[in-house]
């Protein structure tokens, strides 16, 4: 009999046993707001959660590394509530709006798909926490949901397949 069972055998059925459990992973509070700040020539995103915590990100790709799909969808809802379908004028606001619109509400006639023509694929990365393909081209990038179809040309798809996706670890989504 193990030491634990011998120890537990001494307790009566009505005795209470306190167990301190530490969760292995906790889901962060949902996103309730975002702000864009400028410091000199650089801008950054500040993401504010329901528990009052806030975190800043210099790049959208840094945000993708830590977000799950729910976080990404919440952020899109907030951006869309603020700007609707009207493209913002501010630099980082415009970039955030355009990246999220391309991910969630792309259209075949969007200028981005025409601009990809003839561009060389430099990097293809998978962010599996939120289910996003990040593809960097010579002078632009595109973020795409794994399960959606996007109007990519055969040349672009071939360039992506020749690059092979980068991921933090091998998993079913990567394959």
Contact criterion met (CB below 8 Å) for 166 and 126: yes
pTM (predicted TM-score): 0.75
| Strand locations in the chain (E) | 31-39, 42-49, 54-57, 121-127, 132-137, 141-145
- The mean predicted confidence, pLDDT, of the chain is 82
Tell me, what's the pLDDT at 83? 87
Domain ranges of the chain: 31-163
pLDDT in tens, 58-109: 888 889 989 999 999 999 999 999 988 787 887 778 888 989 999 999 888 8
User: 3-state DSSP call for residue 49?
Assistant: strand
Look at residues 107, 51, 46 and name the one whose alpha carbon lies nearest to residue 78.
46
pLDDT in tens, 27-68: 788 999 999 888 887 888 999 999 999 999 988 888 998 999
Tell me, what's the pLDDT at 128? 84
């Amino acid at each position: 009999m193990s030491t634990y069972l011998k120890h537990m055998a001494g307790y009566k059925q009505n005795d209470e046993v306190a167990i301190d459990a530490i969760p292995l992973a906790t889901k962060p509070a949902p996103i309730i707001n975002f702000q864009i700040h400028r410091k000199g020539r650089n801008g950054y995103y500040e993401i504010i959660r329901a528990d009052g915590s806030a975190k800043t990100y210099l790049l959208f790709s840094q945000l993708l590394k830590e977000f799950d799909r729910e976080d990404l969808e919440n952020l899109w809802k907030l951006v869309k509530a603020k700007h609707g379908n009207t493209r913002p004028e501010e630099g980082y606001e415009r970039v955030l709006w355009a990246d999220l619109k391309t991910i969630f509400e792309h259209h075949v006639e969007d200028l981005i798909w025409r601009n990809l023509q003839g561009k060389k694929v430099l990097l293809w990365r998978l962010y599996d926490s939120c289910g996003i393909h990040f593809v960097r081209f010579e002078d632009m990038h595109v973020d795409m949901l794994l399960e959606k179809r996007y109007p990519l040309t055969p040349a672009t798809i071939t360039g992506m397949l020749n690059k092979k996706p980068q991921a933090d670890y091998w998993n079913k989504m990567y394959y």
